Amino acid sequence: MTSDPKIQIRNLYKIFGTDPKSALKCVKDGMDKDQLLAQHGHVLGLNDISVDMQVGAITVVMGLSGSGKSTLIRHINRLIEPTDGQVLIDGEDALLLGTEALREKRRSDMSMVFQKFALLPHRTVIDNSALPLEVRGVEREERKRAAAGWLERVGLGGYENHYPYQLSGGMQQRVGIARALTSNSDIMLMDEAFSALDPLIRSDMQKLLLDLHVELKKTIVFITHDLDEALRLANHLVILKDGAVIQQGEPQGILLNPGDPYIEDFVSDINRARVLRVKSIMQSSVSASSFAGDIDAEDNLESVIARSGGETGHTYRVMQNGKAMGQLEMKDVMRALVPRATSGARTVA
Amino acid sequence: MAYYDGLFNVLGLRTWCDADAGGSNLSMASLLAKTKPGTADDGPLFPFPSMDELHQACSSMPQSRDFTASVEAAFLEVKDVLKLVLDPLTQPLSWLLELALTGFVSAPWWIIIPLLLLFVWYVARSVAVTAFVTLSFVFLGFIDHLEAAFQTLAIIGVCTGICILLGVPVGIAMAKSNTFQRALIPLLDLLQTLPTFVYLIPLIFLFSVTEPKLYGIAIIVYAIVPVIRLTDLGIRLVDRDVIEAANAFGMSPRQKLFGVELPLALPNIMAGVNQTIMMSLAMVVIASLVSAPGLGVLVLRGIRNLELGVGLIAGLGIVLLAIILDRVSKAAIARVSSDQTQG
């Protein structure tokens, strides 16, 4: 993470309504979403968002419905125009682009995957995934060859001449992903891409995305309302509430140190054993005299617990790439499994 | 004395009223009143202040027949200019109609029928529909109504084609501009509700009754409305998510229109075309009054000469044509929509 961020969002505001400019002044003077709606009839979509999205990283923006996450992602390719602020892509202000330049940017530098797939129902799978190249004016044979390759990669080889309605939801979204990949753009925007899929398929698709990410190193912006999904995918996690960022950072860090009661509430429902990794809670010194065994820094706590067989006295040596990184005591594992803010006040109905 | 005399006296308009007392025409009512003097003032207690009633009290007030006369005069006034513009503009329509009519009638039946059936098969791809059309043609031919039916078909074909050619672009423009849509909707409402005979009246003044474009224009103006409306609707109903995807991948407005909007609106547009065809058929029968050839002429003959059988059989022929046109276009719609049904 030494190079400049691929996408920089600077003090971005979006206000929906008839006179956003004057409403903007009120917001900058500290009015909140409810007051703005009550006194001006304007809806505060985004409130002073600043996020850096690094090259080749997956940035996950998480929030509940109405938190402004879909609005935010649409500012990156300017499907929605901001009220105030900057969106820099490779250091260049995307808001200054004219119609033609913007279109060119969307064609070659960004691709998007949608929650409801948004495939063209009258076109075959291969014509759908070849769309970005067709828009750019690439020859029919060439774009079909490229699209066929990506369809094969997402596991849809043999379905080229089917129509979208003949495929299941998961397969349709694979077409959506193949379409985004065919455009061969550096940036992939994914708007709740897996939210409409059932849990098993969703898990498959997350794995597919992670594999593709390792392979292609694209800059991915992923929107979701599901914390499990966010924690699984994110290199950088941004949590939105009422149009404002309430915490952002490395996901394990957020999980261990939630900065806000809202997030504490969120993370308390998470299966921490599966999400937390050894490297996040280990001691970085190797001091114990004997170890019960070696574990990998990327292992999750669930696998460590399984390995210990319930024994809480063990200490393990943490290895990464064949080198000893530190040690992990099982009592630290147990402690990490309890959310910091867990209060006896949480009642079970 | 007339009921409203007092009103004009109070307003002090008496001198203005009587200025040309002698000049007004006698209405039938007042003529009758003169012959039977006793009943002159037996009108209603409080008559509606209509033009005619006011005229009785004040002869300077215009009568309502002056009103209709002035509408006529105004139309005749602009008629020559209108004709000068419209005549050359619409001349190709006459040529097209004449060409189609002579083409359909002069071609031998053993060429034209297979051609039509091939077309039906191509559009509908349905054995049942094609078989039904074949049987209908055989029946119409057997009772010697084939020529008239083909004339009717030729006129409908030309007029529907022009309706689509003009209507689809207008519909697209309506879908793209809310202002244009708001401006056009009242006009479309007017065209759709104006009684069919009323279309013919100004056209008769503009063109000579022997010209095919006279009925051509009447049919087009009457039948173009649904194709415009449903093109507009179809494009507005295209899934917003799909349009957003098209934008996100940088499609130009042109690529969006031809690659996304029109194909997705096609089932709706074709429903509009189906309505347009049916309305053309309705109008082409009435257009026989102004020399449109075809089955309508036979219906008209049935009415004029009280030839019951001729009228009824021609009517049956029209029903057959209506069923053919409807089933063929509906089969085409079903085929197009099944290509993109989701889920």
Contact of B46 with chain A, judged by CB distance below 8 Å, is answered with no
pLDDT tens string B309-325: 999 999 999 999 999 99
* Mean pLDDT of the B125-148 span: 94
3-state secondary structure chain B: CCCCHHHHHHCCCHHHHHHHHHHCCCCHHHHHHHHCHHHCCCCCCCCCCCHHHHHHHCCCCCCHHHHHHHHHHHHHHHHHHHHHHHHHHHHHHHHHHHHHHHHHHHCCHHHHHHHHHHHHHHHHCCHHHHHHHHHHHHHHHHCCCHHHHHHHHHHHHHHHHHHHHHHHHHHHHHHHCHHHHHHHHHHHHHHHHCCHHHHHHHHHHHCCCCCHHHHHHHHHHHHHHHHHHHHHHHHHCCCHHHHHHHHHCCCCHHHHHHHHHHHHHHHHHHHHHHHHHHHHHHHHHHHHHHCCCCHHHHHHHHHHCCCHHHHHHHHHHHHHHHHHHHHHHHHHHHHHHHCCCCC
Contact of A131 with chain B, judged by CB distance below 8 Å, is answered with yes
Mean pLDDT for chain B overall: 88
pLDDT value of position A1: 43
> What is the chain B residue with the closest CA to A119?
B242
DSSP annotation of A50 reads E
A342: Cα separation from own chain's centroid: 26
B80 and B26 Cβ atoms separated by less than 8 Å:
no
DSSP annotation of A166 reads G
Contact of A110 with chain B, judged by CB distance below 8 Å, is answered with yes
Inter-chain residue contact A105 with B250, CB threshold 8 Å: yes
* Phi, psi dihedrals of residue A313, rounded to the nearest 5°: -90, -10
Inter-chain residue contact A118 with B250, CB threshold 8 Å: no
Rounded average pLDDT per 10-residue block, chain A, 349 residues = 79 91 87 86 90 93 89 92 92 89 92 93 93 93 94 91 91 94 93 90 92 92 91 92 90 86 83 84 83 85 86 85 85 82 43
Inter-chain residue contact B250 with A104, CB threshold 8 Å: yes
pLDDT tens string B73-85: 998 888 889 888 9
- Residue B187 scores a pLDDT above 80: yes
A229-246: b or e for each residue (b if 16 or more CB lie within 10 Å)? Answer: bbbbbbbbbbbbbbbbbb
Q: List the single best residue of A79, A102, A104, A120 to mutate versus B (max B Cβ within 10 A).
A: A120
Contact of B257 with chain A, judged by CB distance below 8 Å, is answered with no
Return the minimum-mean-pLDDT range out of A261-265, B66-70, B111-115.
A261-265
pLDDT tens string B207-258: 888 889 999 999 999 999 999 999 999 999 999 999 999 999 999 999 999 9
Supply the ipTM of this predicted assembly: 0.83
Q: How close A282 comes to chain B (CA, Å)?
A: 44
pLDDT value of position B34: 65
Q: Give chain A positions within 8 Å (CB) of B252.
A: 103
- Residue B266 scores a pLDDT above 50: yes
Helix runs in A160-256, H state only = 169-182, 199-216, 227-233, 251-256
Q: How close B261 comes to chain A (CA, Å)?
A: 10
Nearest to B260 among A105, A120, A163 (CB): A120
Q: Name B125's Cβ contacts closer than 8 Å, sequence gap at least 6.
A: B331, B335
pLDDT value of position B49: 86
DSSP annotation of A37 reads H
pLDDT value of position A260: 86
pLDDT value of position A34: 86
Which structure tokens are listed for A265? 């509430």
pLDDT value of position B269: 95
pLDDT tens string B164-181: 999 999 999 999 999 999
